[in-house]
């Protein structure tokens, strides 16, 4: 007689201490133990390990456990740099060796393509990883709060609004970490009042630092609750002196009670509202609200794969949806006859047009608006494209966008995705509409985390 796999009551209780073997990892990298078929999710545990853990929360179909100790270690386990990175969630996979991280991410992509996309027999290539999987982020946005009586920078504890002091983030460009500490010390020197989220008082909410990977130029954004800037000239002078690479210093005003970091109004304190960086042989101007991939080294890998998959000969018309400031658009334009870039954020399109002009790229045209609306208009007008390239946000493609692609029927579609789950959902709809998945290439843009990006090539069946 088969064992009953359903439970009217959880077979574990809160605060119970248990031992079990880890049989799987969740998509977020937590270990999975099974107690009479009932899954318990345990952060920090790895497949094959025997662990001791304490039940901290139970639900009808699963529970959460807190790792007490590892009794039998996985060969893939490595020593963690500091537990604080697990507490903040900035490096949730730091205890997993880098080759094992890449294998984990490949399996994640394979799993969602099968379970969500219903795509059987699709070969997923080995994940393109980094030679050095630390210090890769070219952008940091850190909260500012009062801790132990003084202004402090750090990062939020997971699932809370408590800031943990951190000076070395490990995954950020070390020069960015140093810049944040220098700015923090200047703010302490001038007795700037940090933001108090509960009381909605104080002045300085966040410090944002962006640094060109190739150019080394620095942009700093101070997010404040109001326009007031006590001793502005002295503070600006001190920041300029402390940061020789600084080219842009911006004040962004966010008076709202919100988790959204940037407000709608900004003013330039010094320099211009852009810094420059080089990517794919082009020089880009990047504004403080512009999207720019945070891992410059891996972005080259991601975009080169996308351009290769497009297979351009110089005769094609290409649509680059969700084009941002035109980083991928210009690379496509090198090998196409004409490229249309679509983006909903107007300042990004202004940047894109400037970038095309500054790089002497004339066979591109940019349009502001929701990609799904523009593509629908073009499909109805029977505009023809040979290749469509998409790089949507985490929510993936809107249904009407997919419908318009299926109306337009470009010969090829290249999908750049930051979310395997929505990618798989969209691929299911596109394959049902006549496309065939030709290649899937994951790229590790965020080492030490569970995130993975993919480039997928699809072709329309004849």
Assess contact for 152 and 184: CB atoms under 8 A. Answer: yes
CB within 8 A of 351, min separation 6: which ones? 274, 284, 285, 286, 287, 290, 325, 326
**CA–CA separation, 275 vs 179, rounded Å?**
16
DSSP one-letter string for 307-358: HHHHT--S--EEEEES-TTTHHHHHHHTTSSEEEEEES-HHHHHHHHHHHHH
Looking at the predicted structure, is the pLDDT value of residue 265 above 50?
A: yes
DSSP one-letter string for 378-406: HHHTT---SEEEE---TT---HHHHHHHH
302: buried, middle or exposed (CB in 10 Å: 19+, 13-18, 0-12)?
buried
Alpha helices, DSSP H, located in 55-124: 84-88, 98-115
What's the pLDDT score for residue 2? 44
**CA–CA separation, 38 vs 45, rounded Å?**
17
Is 418 a known active-site residue?
yes
Token pair recorded at residue 260: 């959204």
pLDDT in tens, 349-404: 999 999 999 999 999 999 999 988 998 888 888 888 999 999 999 999 999 999 99
What's the pLDDT score for residue 108? 96
**CA–CA separation, 417 vs 400, rounded Å?**
18
User: By percentage, how much of the chain surpasses pLDDT 70?
Assistant: 98
Looking at the predicted structure, is the pLDDT value of residue 3 above 80?
A: no
Looking at the predicted structure, is the pLDDT value of residue 440 above 70?
A: yes
Residue among 45, 253, 302, 418 flagged as catalytic: 418
CB within 8 A of 425, min separation 6: which ones? 116, 117, 396
Looking at the predicted structure, is the pLDDT value of residue 96 above 50?
A: yes
Assess contact for 288 and 250: CB atoms under 8 A. Answer: yes
Left, alpha or beta for 3 (phi > 0: left; psi -120 to 50: alpha)? beta
pLDDT in tens, 145-202: 999 999 999 999 988 889 999 999 999 999 999 999 999 999 999 999 999 999 999 9
pLDDT in tens, 193-243: 999 999 999 999 999 999 999 999 999 999 999 999 999 999 999 999 999
Residue in 168, 261, 273 with CA at minimum distance from that of residue 206: 261
Arithmetic mean of pLDDT, 75-88: 89
Question: 210 or 3: which carries more pLDDT confidence?
Answer: 210
What's the pLDDT score for residue 6? 54
What's the pLDDT score for residue 462? 65
What's the pLDDT score for residue 445? 97
Long-range contacts of 202-205 (CB under 8 A, 24+ apart): 202/146, 203/228, 203/230, 204/144, 204/151, 205/143, 205/144, 205/254, 205/261
User: By percentage, how much of the chain surpasses pLDDT 90?
Assistant: 89
Going from the N-terminus, what domains does the chain have, and what CATH number goes with each? Answer: 17-77 (2.40.50.140), 106-130+295-460 (3.40.50.150), 139-279 (2.40.50.1070)
SS3 441: strand
Looking at the predicted structure, is the pLDDT value of residue 8 above 80?
A: no
Question: 22 or 290: which carries more pLDDT confidence?
Answer: 22
Q: What is the DSSP letter of 291?
A: -
What's the pLDDT score for residue 1? 39
What's the pLDDT score for residue 10? 87
What's the pLDDT score for residue 383? 83
pLDDT in tens, 128-140: 999 999 999 999 9
CA angle 317, 297, 154 (to 5 degrees): 120
Arithmetic mean of pLDDT, 331-359: 95
Token pair recorded at residue 338: 């004409």
């Amino acid at each position: 007689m088969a064992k009953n796999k359903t439970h009217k009551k959880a077979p574990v209780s809160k605060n119970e201490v248990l031992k079990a073997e880890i049989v799987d990892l969740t998509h977020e990298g937590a270990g999975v133990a099974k107690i009479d078929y009932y899954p318990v999710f345990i952060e920090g545990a790895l497949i094959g390990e025997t662990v001791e853990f304490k039940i901290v929360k139970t639900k009808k179909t699963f529970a959460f456990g807190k790792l007490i100790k590892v009794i039998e270690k996985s060969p893939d386990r490595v020593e963690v740099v500091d537990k604080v990175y697990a507490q903040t969630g900035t490096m949730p996979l730091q205890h997993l060796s880098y080759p094992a991280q890449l294998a984990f991410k490949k399996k994640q992509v394979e799993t969602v393509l099968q379970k969500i996309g219903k795509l059987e027999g699709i070969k997923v290539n080995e994940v393109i990883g980094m030679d050095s999987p630390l210090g890769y982020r070219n952008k940091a946005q850190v909260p500012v709060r009062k801790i132990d009586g003084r202004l402090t920078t750090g990062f939020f504890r997971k699932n809370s609004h408590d800031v943990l002091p951190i000076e070395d983030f490990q995954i950020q460009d070390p020069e960015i970490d140093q810049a944040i500490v220098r700015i923090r010390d200047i703010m302490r020197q001038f007795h700037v009042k940090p933001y108090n989220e509960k009381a909605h008082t104080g002045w300085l909410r966040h410090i944002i630092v962006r640094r060109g990977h190739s150019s080394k130029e620095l942009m700093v954004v101070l997010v404040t609750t109001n326009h007031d800037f006590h001793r502005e000239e002295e503070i600006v002078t001190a920041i300029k002196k402390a940061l020789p690479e600084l080219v842009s210093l911006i004040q962004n005003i966010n008076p709202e009670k919100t988790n959204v970091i940037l407000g709608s109004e900004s003013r330039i304190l010094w320099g211009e509202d852009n810094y420059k960086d080089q990517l794919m042989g082009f020089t880009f101007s990047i504004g403080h609200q512009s999207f720019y991939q945070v891992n410059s080294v891996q972005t080259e890998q991601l975009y080169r794969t996308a351009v290769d998959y497009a297979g351009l000969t110089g005769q094609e018309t290409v649509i680059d949806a969700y084009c941002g400031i035109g980083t991928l658009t210009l690379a496509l334009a090198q090998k196409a006859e004409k490229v249309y870039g679509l983006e909903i954020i107007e300042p990004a399109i202004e940047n894109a047009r400037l970038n095309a002009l500054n790089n002497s790229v004339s066979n591109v045209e940019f349009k502001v608006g929701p990609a799904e609306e523009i593509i629908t208009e073009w499909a109805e007008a029977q505009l023809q494209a040979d290749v469509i390239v998409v790089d949507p946000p985490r929510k993936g493609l809107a249904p009407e966008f997919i419908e318009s692609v299926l109306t337009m029927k470009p010969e090829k579609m290249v999908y750049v995705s930051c979310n395997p789950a929505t990618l798989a959902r969209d691929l299911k709809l596109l394959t049902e509409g006549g496309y065939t998945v030709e290649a899937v290439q994951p790229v590790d843009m965020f080492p030490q985390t569970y995130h993975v990006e993919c480039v997928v090539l699809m072709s329309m069946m004849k």
